[in-house]
Structure 1
Amino acid sequence: MSSGMKTKRNRWRSVATVGLGAIAATWSGGLWWRQVSAAPHQGQDGDPPVLRFAVPTGAPLSAIARELEAAGAIRSALALRLWLEWQNRMAGQPKVLQAGTYDLSLGWSLAEVVAAMQRSRSSEVRVTIPEGWNLQDIGQRLAAQGGFSNEAFQAAARNPQTWQTYTWLPPDLTSLEGYLFPDTYQLPAGNLTPEAAIGILLRRFEEVGLPMYQTYRQRTADPLSLHEWVTLASIVEKESVLDSERRTIAGVFTERLQRGMRLEADPTVEYALGVRQTKEQPLTLAQVRTESPYNTYLVAGLPPGPIAAPGKASLAATSDPEPTEYLYFMARYDGSHIFSRTLAEHERAIAQVEAQLQNRN
């Protein structure tokens, strides 16, 4: 064989080797990218967890990427930086992650996480749901921001299909009263459905309230069920104004329950009637005698369900009520209460508050 033919054959062999190497590199690179850009929760059973992640103003991309990877929101910090670099080259202008607080599903791919964090925060509205609000209050507030009616919200909040994926909720639940966690939220402006809004508030309860209940259940000899716990906490929420009294009020109700006494809580009557008493218009005797499963002046034990959305402080107080001999308390209308051990003491407290009110008038 001539030396020329050998040289040509070696050249083709080198070209083939380089070609195969390029194909292998491309294939392995594609495999790597599929792995690192996939959702962290991909292929796992159950609903993907949701991670709350904050991006401070001015935070460098490298730090954000490392923290996202460490938190489990993405599989690779390097992949995120490469994805943004590719976006920048394609767009011809910088693509950045917006500062703000995000609820990131671990079922999202890298591209979905980046898209969520590039969305302008101006397209969101800040909505606060105060502690002690009921479904009607919450629906009115969200309807004003979400682009849906309060009627649609109430229907969704009473439709079990809305919460069927939240398996930690009581199985026989008829409404989400008490389970939509009061907090401040960043919500999409104008394009939110009732179901999506409910999902955001339910996930916050799952993040904050559910771990509190699990801790309470582990350390309590005879714990309340989740539904009972939320129900009692909702009454504590409506009765409490001062944080310094919250555990005492929870202790009074706990003591009355243990003794088999009726709770006799005004907010349960207000909830049953759909009214709110004031110092100018307190509940009447006829209203207090209204028959309702929620009227704890007539019905022993807890009402059928929560009467409002309890906040973290009331859930904590219900988890750890103050041991007390008090069985009664009377509101002074300035937020504080007079606590009494006996009915006679309580009647004197009532007379004292009424006299003070008359003197002011």
Structure 2
Amino acid sequence: MKLRSLFIAAIALGVGALLFVLGGWYGPGPHHRDVRVQIDRGSSVYSAAAQLEKAGVIRSAKLFRVNARLLGGTTPIKFGEYEIPKRASAEAVLDILQGGEALQYRITVPEGMPSILVHERLMAIDTLTGEVPVPAEGSILPDTYAFERGEPRAKVVARMQAAMDKVLTDLWGTRKPTTVVKTPEEAITLAAVVEKETGKPSERRMVAGVYSNRLRIGMKLDADPTVIYPITKGKPLGRRIRRSELRADNGYNTYVRPGLPDGPIANPGRESIAAVLDPQPTEALYFVADGTGGHVFANSLAEHNRNVVKWRAIRRARGEL
């Protein structure tokens, strides 16, 4: 009878221990709110368990390690920053770390942003790591990019540049015979000028058409942004262009030399690249702002001069002159 009682007690103890183990693994966790946890590169389940216990996500690092070995499979955990839902079980926590779906952050590069400002934006993000030089102008595709905490800035830049390479390759294959650019590099250079000259998407092909006409006949582009670029590297000038700057011969100033500037003056977006590879058919050689954010186009200098007079009157009425 005594032996039977001991046997029953042993079974009960074993069942209790099993329920304790299973409850500690499959039961709700101790945290009552979502918790963010950073798992460092090279972490093992052993070292991660200590971080999880410290963050209050699990009750016992030791028990977590044992259960992970017995019940969690052999898939390694992945580094990154994770958001653990409140009351998530230890099993769910390990599943999150093994799945590697780390939190994603984002950086947006607007169309026409110069590389010096892309660099400043990257360096200001404290969730990225490492130094990176200012990217080559025109090598970054404007877009929104996801990254994880601790990711090297150089890796993010590489993705931005790979995206530009792909888009340029794809678009170059669709170029029309009417384009004046002869290489992908020239396409980026002209697209950057188009990007900076108009913020109105519907005008891009028309502006590209005007500049294509000018390049075709050897006429200077006379584009203000190409004058500003050597002064500020693409940052806003913050004042009117000086006469001396309009006369500066530096390889970028298209008021001095015909043809394209020596290189891109910004990072153009996909639509501006597409515009210079398929410019709008037009006889226009001139354009000037119309006061609404767009432009008025003209085929002749006389017509253009009349449009300029109207634009100056608008600016005078606004108190800008």
Q: Equivalents in 1 of 2:222, 2:311: separation in Å?
A: 18
Within the candidate set 155, 166, 189, 1:196 is matched to 155
The answer to whether the aligner puts 1:286 opposite 2:244 as a matched pair is: yes
The answer to whether the aligner puts 1:343 opposite 2:301 as a matched pair is: yes
Q: Flag structure 2 segments of 5+ consecutive residues without an equivalent.
A: 1-69, 76-89
How big is each residue's C-alpha offset from its partner over 1:107-141, in whole Å with a ceiling of 9 and x where there is no partner? xxxxxxx96x62322xx311100000111110011
Q: How many residues align?
A: 233
Contact kept in structure 2, 1:216 and 1:223, CA below 8 Å? no
Contact kept in structure 1, 2:139 and 2:267, CA below 8 Å? yes
The answer to whether the aligner puts 1:261 opposite 2:219 as a matched pair is: yes
For residues 205 and 358 of structure 1, do their structure 2 counterparts lie closer, same or farther at Cα, with a shift above 3 Å needed? Answer: same
Larger Rg: 1 or 2? 2
Within the candidate set 107, 125, 145, 1:185 is matched to 145
Structure 2 letter corresponding to 1:198: V
How much has 1:147 moved relative to structure 2?
Answer: 3.9
Within the candidate set 78, 91, 101, 1:119 is matched to 101
Aligned partner of 1:30 in structure 2 is: none
Aligned partner of 2:111 in structure 1 is: 131
Q: Equivalents in 2 of 1:273, 1:319: separation in Å?
A: 29
Please give the secondary structure, in 2, of the residue aligned with 1:89. Answer: coil
Contact kept in structure 2, 1:260 and 1:300, CA below 8 Å? yes
Contact kept in structure 1, 2:221 and 2:258, CA below 8 Å? yes
How much has 1:292 moved relative to structure 2?
Answer: 1.1
Q: Equivalents in 2 of 1:339, 1:320: separation in Å?
A: 18
For residues 358 and 138 of structure 1, do their structure 2 counterparts lie closer, same or farther at Cα, with a shift above 3 Å needed? Answer: same
Q: Equivalents in 2 of 1:137, 1:119: separation in Å?
A: 30
How big is each residue's C-alpha offset from its partner over 1:209-238, in whole Å with a ceiling of 9 and x where there is no partner? 321112217x66875201101100111111
Please give the secondary structure, in 2, of the residue aligned with 1:154. Answer: coil
How much has 1:254 moved relative to structure 2?
Answer: 0.3
Q: CA RMSD in A?
A: 2.7
Contact kept in structure 1, 2:179 and 2:279, CA below 8 Å? no
Please give the secondary structure, in 1, of the residue aligned with 2:106. Answer: strand
Q: Equivalents in 1 of 2:162, 2:92: separation in Å?
A: 33
Contact kept in structure 2, 1:136 and 1:154, CA below 8 Å? no
Q: Equivalents in 2 of 1:245, 1:333: separation in Å?
A: 14
How much has 1:337 moved relative to structure 2?
Answer: 0.6
Q: Equivalents in 1 of 2:308, 2:276: separation in Å?
A: 26
Structure 2 letter corresponding to 1:136: I
For residues 241 and 341 of structure 1, do their structure 2 counterparts lie closer, same or farther at Cα, with a shift above 3 Å needed? Answer: same
For residues 197 and 333 of structure 1, do their structure 2 counterparts lie closer, same or farther at Cα, with a shift above 3 Å needed? Answer: farther
Within the candidate set 119, 142, 147, 2:122 is matched to 142
Q: Equivalents in 2 of 1:131, 1:193: separation in Å?
A: 23
How much has 1:180 moved relative to structure 2?
Answer: 0.7
How much has 1:194 moved relative to structure 2?
Answer: 3.7
Q: Equivalents in 2 of 1:238, 1:118: separation in Å?
A: 40
For residues 209 and 282 of structure 1, do their structure 2 counterparts lie closer, same or farther at Cα, with a shift above 3 Å needed? Answer: same
Within the candidate set 293, 307, 321, 2:279 is matched to 321
Contact kept in structure 1, 2:223 and 2:254, CA below 8 Å? yes
How much has 1:303 moved relative to structure 2?
Answer: 0.9
Identity over the aligned pairs, expressed in percent? Answer: 34
Q: Equivalents in 1 of 2:72, 2:270: separation in Å?
A: 43
Contact kept in structure 2, 1:88 and 1:94, CA below 8 Å? no
Contact kept in structure 1, 2:139 and 2:161, CA below 8 Å? yes
Q: Equivalents in 2 of 1:336, 1:221: separation in Å?
A: 23
Within the candidate set 233, 236, 257, 1:276 is matched to 236
Aligned partner of 2:19 in structure 1 is: none
TM-score by length of 1: 0.59
Aligned partner of 1:332 in structure 2 is: 290
For residues 221 and 291 of structure 1, do their structure 2 counterparts lie closer, same or farther at Cα, with a shift above 3 Å needed? Answer: closer
TM-score by length of 2: 0.66
Comparing 266-275 and 317-326, the one that deviates more: 266-275
Structure 1 letter corresponding to 2:73: R
How much has 1:299 moved relative to structure 2?
Answer: 1.4
Higher helix share: 1
